[in-house]
């Protein structure tokens, strides 16, 4: 940590402006060397940036942040310069020549922020998600995490666990004395039961968080020539899949990412489901069934009311939306057919209605203005361990208070691992590797 690190923190070049970040003990020397001044902390100044020969490399806004009031908690600087490749390369090369300075590794600025207690792990992960967020819901979820709202909930729970243990210890130590009210423990256990319920409720939200982060998987399935590939192309507004009137055209699984009501949606096109002797097509159909198995929603297409393929009952709970296609051809055909939506990719009829039906299947977040949900398997696993330890503690009342307190300690440890309060070193590599250099 005694190194001073630097990196380009802004995006691809060329750009209007590029931001070069410096963090570490040599920051003020760097500024003196390059800009001949150390500005007052948190005040932007316009300066020429020169190399050691005194040649001007560029002019830009210089910002200085004095430790600990910076993103990393160390002395930091930001050089906001012109975003030309040669400009940025020249400045980075000059920085690299200063003794004690080296280029930052991926995620190193954030890692320092964590080590200096500026951010906890949930906030760091939220920051990584915020940077990669592509849909509105992903942004909202990541914002919630990176801003510390979720951490506050976990800290509140950790405090309750510690409090419970403290009360139990007190009861153990002073059991003989009259002035320790015997009802302390009962209040504590009631609170632990409530806490267990709160954790369970919180865990229920993990499915929604997964949909927000990874997207809702929607598969288009049905008989050959039903118009599946045409629908994918229409929804993607691009010619992604090959469309012909030859049954069995699609063999590989194709997919596009769409944003639907702020959610990420992965739409899959599949081979038409039928009996066939064609080896390649058979493999396509096998893959189609695999994709159907992994989907959250199935769009089952047919261009005739009798043509809907039986999907079997392998996953009875999965929503299947029956879509009648090509209604521009013979609308009367569908008079009494039991379908959810009728569409034509030729005329665009029914597509809005289809999208409405899909939106109805997205998680309803209207009542929730804060998305405090566990987003990662890591969180879910720690929360499950926490809940299990609390459960054990509650169930062991006949084995004595000290055993019960020990389970609560384990619960607190499991919870602490989420934010990084305990034994997290092995996790750090995984988490910080998600970052790009310069963050």
Ligand X SMILES: Nc1nc2c(ncn2[C@@H]2O[C@H](COP(=O)(O)OP(=O)(O)O)[C@@H](O)[C@H]2O)c(=O)[nH]1
Footprint of Mg ion (CB under 5 A): 228-229, 250
Look at residues 269, 217, 265, 266 and name the one whose alpha carbon lies nearest to residue 243: 269
**Is 224 near ligand X (CB under 6 A)?**
yes
When asked if residue 110 is in the footprint of ligand X (CB under 6 A), the reply is: no
* By CB under 6 A, residue 326 contacts ligand X: yes
Shortest distance in whole angstroms from residue 346 CB to Mg ion: 16
Residue 238 as a binder of ligand X (CB under 6 A): the answer is no
140 or 228: CB nearest Mg ion: 228
- Does residue 227 bind ligand X (CB under 6 A)? yes
344 near ligand X, judged by CB under 6 A: yes
What gap in Å lies between CA 295 and CA 318, rounded to an integer? 8
Check residue 325 for interaction with ligand X (CB under 6 A): yes
Q: How far is the CB of 290 from ligand X (least distance, A)?
A: 18
Question: Which of 288, 276, 289, 215 shows the shortest CA–CA distance to 248?
Answer: 276
Stretch of 67-75, 159-167, 341-349, 359-367 contacting ligand X, by CB under 6 A: 341-349
Counting contacts by CB under 6 A, is residue 291 touching ligand X?
no
Q: How far is CA 425 from CA 3, 114, 122, 415, in A?
A: 20, 11, 15, 15
User: Least separation, in Å, of the C-beta of 284 and Mg ion?
Assistant: 10
**Sequence-distant (≥ 6) Cβ neighbours of residue 120 within 8 angstroms:** 114, 148, 151, 419, 420, 421
Binding to ligand X by residue 346, rule CB under 6 A? yes
- C-alpha R_g of the chain: 29
Alpha-carbon distance of 274 to 315, in angstroms, equals 20
Q: Which does 227 bind (CB under 5 to 8 A by kind): Mg ion, ligand X, none?
A: ligand X
For the CB of residue 264, give the shortest distance to ligand X in the complex, in Å: 24
Helix (H, G, I), strand (E, B) or coil at 45: strand
Least distance between Mg ion and beta carbon 247 (Å):
9
Contact partner at residue 245 from ligand X, Mg ion, none, CB < 5 to 8 Å by partner kind: ligand X
- The H or E element containing residue 81 is strand 76-83
Q: Which of 158, 157, 162 is nearest to 405 (CA)?
A: 162
Report the candidate in 118, 99, 92, 120 with the shortest Cα–Cα distance to residue 10. 92
**Binding region for ligand X (CB under 6 A):** 224-230, 243-245, 249-250, 272, 325-326, 328-329, 344-346
């Amino acid at each position: 940590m005694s190194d001073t690190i630097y990196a380009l923190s802004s995006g691809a070049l060329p750009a209007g402006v590029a931001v070069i970040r410096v963090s570490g003990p040599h920051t003020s020397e760097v500024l003196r060397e390059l800009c001949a001044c150390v500005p007052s902390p948190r005040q932007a100044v316009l300066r020429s940036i020169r190399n050691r020969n005194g040649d001007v490399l560029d002019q830009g806004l210089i910002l200085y942040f004095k430790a600990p009031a910076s993103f990393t908690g160390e002395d930091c600087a930001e050089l906001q310069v012109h975003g030309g490749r040669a400009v940025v390369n020249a400045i980075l090369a000059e920085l690299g020549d200063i003794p004690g300075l080296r280029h930052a590794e991926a995620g190193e600025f954030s890692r320092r922020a964590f080590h200096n207690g500026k951010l906890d792990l949930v906030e760091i992960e939220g920051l990584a998600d915020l940077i990669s967020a592509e849909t509105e819901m992903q942004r909202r979820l990541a914002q919630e995490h990176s801003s510390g709202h979720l951490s506050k909930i976990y800290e509140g729970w950790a405090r309750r666990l510690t409090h419970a243990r403290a009360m139990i210890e007190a009861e153990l130590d002073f059991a003989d004395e009259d002035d320790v009210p015997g009802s302390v423990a009962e209040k504590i256990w009631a609170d632990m039961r409530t806490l267990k319920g709160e954790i369970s409720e919180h865990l229920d939200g993990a499915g929604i968080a997964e949909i927000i982060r990874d997207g809702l998987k929607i598969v288009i399935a049905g008989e050959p020539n039903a118009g599946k590939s045409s629908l994918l192309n229409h929804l993607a507004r691009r010619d992604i899949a090959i469309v012909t009137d030859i049954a069995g055209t699609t063999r590989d699984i194709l997919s596009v990412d769409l944003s639907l009501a702020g959610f990420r949606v992965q739409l899959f096109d599949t081979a038409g489901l039928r009996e066939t002797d064609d080896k390649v097509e058979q493999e396509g159909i096998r893959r189609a069934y695999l994709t159907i198995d992994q989907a959250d929603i199935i769009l089952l297409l047919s261009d005739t009311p009798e043509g809907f393929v039986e999907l079997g009952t392998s996953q009875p709970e999965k929503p299947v939306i029956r879509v009648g296609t090509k209604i521009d051809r013979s609308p009367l055909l569908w008079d009494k057919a039991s379908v959810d939506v009728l569409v034509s990719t030729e005329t665009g009829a029914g597509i809005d209605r289809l999208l409405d039906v899909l939106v109805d299947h997205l998680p309803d977040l209207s009542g929730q203005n804060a998305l405090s949900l566990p987003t990662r398997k890591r969180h879910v696993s720690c929360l499950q361990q926490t809940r299990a330890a609390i459960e054990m503690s509650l169930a062991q009342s006949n084995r004595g208070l000290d055993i019960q307190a020990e389970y609560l300690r384990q619960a607190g440890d499991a919870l602490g691992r989420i934010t990084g309060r305990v034994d997290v070193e092995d996790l750090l590599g995984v988490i910080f590797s998600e970052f790009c250099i310069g963050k």
